[in-house]
Structure 1
Amino acid sequence: MNSPHMDYSLAPRASGPVSWLETLLVTGLAIGLGFWLTPEDPLQMHGSFPWPVLAPLLLGVRYGFVRGLFSAALLVAAVFVLRYWEREGYTELQPSFIVGVLVCGMLVGEVRDLWVRRLERLQMANEYRQYRLDEFTRAHQILRVSHDLLEQRVAGSDQSLRSSLLGLREKLRGMPVEGDALSELAEPIVAMLGQYGALRVAGLYRVDEAEKNVLHQPLAQIGVMGPLGTDDGLIKLCLQRGELVSVRQELIDSGNAAQFSSLQACIPLIDAEGRLLAILAVRQMPFFAFQDRTLSLLSLLAGHIADLLRRDPQVLQLPSADAQQFTLQLKRSLVDVEQHQLPAGLFAFEMTRTNDELARLMERSQRGLDLHLPVNNARDHRLLLVLLPLTSPEGAEGYLARIGLLLHEHFGHDCDLASLGVRVMSFNLEPGCDRNGLRNFLYNECGLNDQQVAV
């Protein structure tokens, strides 16, 4: 046993021929003591208790069924030998003695074997848990080291992830509409991805319109990329799957990765609609960064960057990021209605009287898929736009009923939206509605402008 806590044996056990020799010696010792102590009845078959039966009991407990039965058989054989010698008291056999000795040896040995099997199963389970614990401990230590290195690198950076994306968006807003955003912003894109992925050698490559081939010349690079083979296995796999792909660490360690690809990872820039713009080919990155969390972060950043590059210029000019997000989702709901006949609901709650408590209550009522956009309209009233994606008109009515219940619980049963000075306006995005009707609802009824919501 490796650990004293896992050693459940009473004494060290012999194995092989030594155990058989021990069985013979212990059984012979029991018979010899019988001849020495009670020569008139060596096996004490006629006494108050047959003490020689302790030999098969002890051997059965120590070695199991086979040794216990063998020892009991030796005692029974000794009975027949004494009967053959016509020793007094053994001329007539006692069947109960013979059966009892054999049953004791077999029963104790079988119980011992049963518990040994159970203990071995428990020991195997415990060893597996210990193995998993050791594996987890090693992974935890590696993660701690990686986290410390990442923390030091991020602490030395003067930009957060959000500020980096906002800076990229501001650069994109300053570009002309007809400009090539990918070429113009290739350097800051590669710099941002290189910062958060600790990339040493990497390059950004444009993908053709058919999304089947990668152009040879990099738009921007970190380090010296060198020639990029068009038949590179990782590039082909990335174009085929349309997702992040990387070489397994085992192949890199064994040196067999070069047979498949000269790269470590390929990160595609794919927008929310699945359009592939470019590929970031990574040739070298440090060991601590080459893990799933870092690669997933790079893939997430690449998706956000692709959304920015493909974003509607009209939406991009909106000053608020919340307004941009709301407008994008509103346009997506319009596309769902026009192409897939999936309805949505749009509400506008205009607060004619200032009520901060009501405003906070309305904000807390937001569900998982709902989108809220608080704005001030042309009438100088606070207005809350609520978009309910994938919601039928019946579901929109249920939403209003839920708002009414919240008001009753918070302000009392006599209160409703009208009594609190809230004007409710609604527009159902369903098959048959057009964008002009939506614009009329937003710009005329709600009193908004195209700098707040662009449709």
Structure 2
Amino acid sequence: MKKIRTLLLIGFKRNWVAWLETTVVALFSIWVWNKNGAVNVETVLGSETSFFWPLFGPMLISIRYGFASGVICGLMVIAGVASSLQLNENLQNFSFSLSVGMILTLMIVGEFRDHWHEINQKFNLDHDYMRQKLESFTKNYHLLKVSHDQLEHRIAGERVSLRASVNRLQEIALKNTENRFENMRSAFLNIIAEIVGLEVAGIYRIKNGQIDKSDHAVISEHHVLDLKDPMLKNMMETKKLLTAAKIGKDEIHRSRYQVCIPLLDTADNLQAIAVAEKAKFFMLTPSNVALLSLVSNFAADLLNEHLQVPVLNAQQKHLFEQYMTRAEDNRRQFGADTSLVVFVGFPPKYRKALQEVISFRRGADVYWHCFTKEKEPVLVVLLPLTTVWGAQQYVNRIKELLIQSLGDVSMTISALEREVEILGPLMLGKDKKFISSFVQELGN
């Protein structure tokens, strides 16, 4: 029904088709007029038909195409009927009043149609304008959303330097041999705030396995320590870093905290804890959480007076294995792999260079100076959160350092590699079996 109404009310868009339709309708109306014999008012009034059917065609044209087309169609009908009567010598029966009535009717209908068409066009223009505005708004919204997402990823991807974070903590620890926690707690909070965007948080000392409320530092006065919090209890039991980002879709986060951080040293002693009510959620990426775990572990080692590492001697093999175990835990929990490089067999001329290599140690790296079964000196370097590419760059710098220490301009890297065997870079995850068996053979 809607299609029929549309076809009746809306004309063709092509002009030649519209004029062809007008001509055909005019010819048909002339035929109807002549057929009915309605050429005089008296004839019309005396007939059984009470409606002037020839009016229907021009009126339809007037509705479809407007005032001008309707009037032209009506004039064509009147001219056609008058011409046919003239040919039949019956022009005296032509009804002038019917002709005038038809033209007036067509003018009224056509004027109404034109007015309706103008209103319709105005609404269509308004609709098109609003649609364009909506499309523009939608595009701008999506552009803004994409820009916002890119900014979030960029901020989340700008990881705080591990070396810089560790060095800051180490400097504070070296300056303050006593009351280290009191001097380090605020700095540690600031560092982890940079890593994961903490806004409301607190750090507390652990004494005898219990949280010491009096020995603490906070970010924001809105921080509250809730000892009954389920996430805090879980963290104290498991001694693992917990974040709200690990909550599943079907799980309900019932904790007031978004991040719970244990400061667990290499000897598996809980030195302190940090809890945060508010953090920038998009910064809780796996890489940032792994960095947070590593910095927390390093800070815990600094708080332990008996763990002044990370340059280990041959007798501290068990401690190096503990570092490897912790690195493996970080890999399993956060997907952050650790690289390992081994330097085997330093000839006497490289002994001084060996000390320079050790002094080149980066903040979180762990160095173990030991020997093979054949009593060859070995330096094992553990590089936390370091990719194969980063570890290879480290090896290249060490090679350059060894060559420079000799002062021999003729010394080449290939000659150095013949005298000092370099194993690696090895990845703790991929090369775990080889690393474990190799470390077992090392010692005093």
Q: Which protein shows a greater Rg?
A: 2
Q: What's the TM-score once normalised by structure 1's chain length? A: 0.39
- Between the two structures, name the one with larger relative contact order (CA 8 Å, sep ≥ 6): 2
Q: What's the TM-score once normalised by structure 2's chain length? A: 0.40
More helix by share: 2
